[in-house]
Amino acid sequence: MVIEIDFNSDEAIYMQITNQIIMGIATSRLHEGDTLPSVRQLASIAGINMHTVNKAYALLRQEGFVTIDRRKGAVISIDADKVRALEEMKQNLTVAMAWGCCKNVTREEVHQLVDEIFDEYDTDR
């Protein structure tokens, strides 16, 4: 998997890494058991500090997307806790929905957008 860092983005680099790995899992480019590059390798390839990669991997571990194995490094390991995932999605969507309401986005537009985004992912897991 290729991680692309946008150094001009307002989004923190560790969040760019985290989000790209999550998108890789959601789009089936990364699968359960796949090994991510070592912290040192990814930092070298991307031209960033190792602590930044470490922070991304720690967040992915905390959120249940990877486990850290002493021999293999960071390994994709999806947390199957659906209730927790739904609660986290609800928290994130609540802010996004409030933002949309302030911008006069309609219910129909939200439903259409959610359907478009959901269709991008492999739902046959």
pLDDT tens-digit series, residues 82-115: 777 888 889 999 999 999 999 999 999 999 999 9
How far is Cα 21 from Cα 13, in angstroms, rounded to an integer? 13
| Per-position DSSP letters for 58-75, written without gaps between them | HHHHHTTSEEEETTTEEE
Tell me the average confidence (pLDDT) per consecutive run of 10 residues in the chain, 125 residues long: 91 97 90 94 95 97 90 86 82 94 96 91 62
Output the pLDDT for position 125. Answer: 52
Q: Could you give the domains of the chain?
A: 13-76 (1.10.10.10), 82-119 (no CATH)
Q: What is the pTM of this model?
A: 0.72
How far is Cα 103 from Cα 109, in angstroms, rounded to an integer? 12
Output the pLDDT for position 80. Answer: 65
